[in-house]
């Protein structure tokens, strides 16, 4: 549900009979894992873990490939994010922020995101190097992350595309995708990959 995001509250599921709990949102105190990035650090004795957020699962594999190959000095990410269950169907009060209380189905709503900070938790070498924001938009599925970075090593866009394409076909196959077709968001509904790089965007 993404409702119980700290270890103490998530532990209630263990009392209810669950053997393991995966928190489907970033957590302030549970170990965080993103497949393709740091899942090899998982230990079997961890009963409560966080799988971060959908945005983090999109951003982290891409950031890892770019950072490993070219080195990221700093970066800015913007996510154009589909509606979530926490948003309002009509204008109303929001516990989080004023704009968050506006109707989701016919507004573009600027919002905060913890994805950039969460990437620093699963990729410590990027801790503090990324920042970002979100725009909530009236679509029901599929979100996009735009990542702009300053690199340590000089690289052309062709170099970056080649590195991502190689990883998408080898080490990150099934996790990181690569497309060079003229696709739109609904073309990705049901896709099981965490992150798909759009080479033509």
Categorize the per-residue pLDDT at 75 as very low, low, confident or very high, splitting at 50, 70 and 90. Answer: very high
How does residue 195 score in pLDDT terms, banded at 50, 70 and 90? Answer: very high
Residue range 190-194: mean pLDDT, rounded: 97
Provide the token pair at 102.
């506006």
Would you say residue 182 has pLDDT above 90? yes
pLDDT of 22-46, one tens digit each? 999 999 999 999 999 999 999 999 9
Is 6 a residue whose pLDDT tops 80?
yes
Q: Is the pLDDT of residue 1 over 70?
A: no
Mean pLDDT of the 162-178 span: 98
pLDDT of 95? 83
- The active-site residue out of 54, 63, 104, 118 is 54
Q: Which residue has the higher pLDDT, 41 or 97?
A: 41
The whole-number pLDDT of residue 96 equals: 82
- For 52, 64, 114, 158, 185, the CA distances from 28, given in Å and listed in that order, are 10, 22, 11, 38, 31
Mean pLDDT over residues 80-99, rounded?
Answer: 92
Can you tell me the distance from the alpha carbon of 167 to that of 65, in angstroms, rounded to the nearest whole number? 7
Verify whether residue 58 is a known catalytic residue: no
Count of CB atoms within 10 A of residue 17's CB?
6
CATH 3.30.360.10 in the chain: give the residue spans: 54-198
d(CA 22, CA 176): 21
Look up the CATH number of domain 54-198: 3.30.360.10
| pLDDT tens, position by position, 53-70 | 999 999 999 999 999 999
Place of tokens 């549970």: 30
């Amino acid at each position: 549900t993404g409702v119980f995001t700290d270890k103490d509250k998530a532990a209630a599921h263990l009392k209810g009979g669950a053997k393991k709990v995966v928190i489907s949102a970033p957590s302030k105190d549970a170990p965080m894992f993103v497949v393709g990035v740091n899942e090899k650090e998982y230990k079997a004795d961890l009963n409560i873990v966080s799988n971060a957020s959908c945005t983090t699962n999109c951003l982290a594999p891409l950031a890892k490939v770019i950072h490993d190959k070219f080195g990221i000095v700093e970066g800015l990410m913007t996510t154009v994010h589909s509606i979530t269950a926490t948003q309002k169907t009509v204008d109303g009060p929001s516990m989080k922020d004023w704009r968050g209380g506006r109707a989701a189905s016919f507004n573009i709503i600027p919002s905060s995101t913890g994805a950039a900070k969460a990437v620093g938790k699963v990729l410590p070498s990027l801790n503090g190097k990324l920042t970002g924001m979100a725009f909530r938009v009236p679509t029901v599925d599929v979100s996009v992350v735009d990542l702009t970075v300053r690199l340590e090593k000089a690289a052309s866009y062709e170099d970056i595309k080649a590195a991502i394409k190689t990883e998408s076909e080898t080490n990150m196959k099934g996790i990181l995708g690569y497309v060079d077709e003229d696709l739109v968001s609904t073309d990705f509904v049901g896709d099981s990959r965490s992150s798909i790089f759009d080479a033509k965007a």
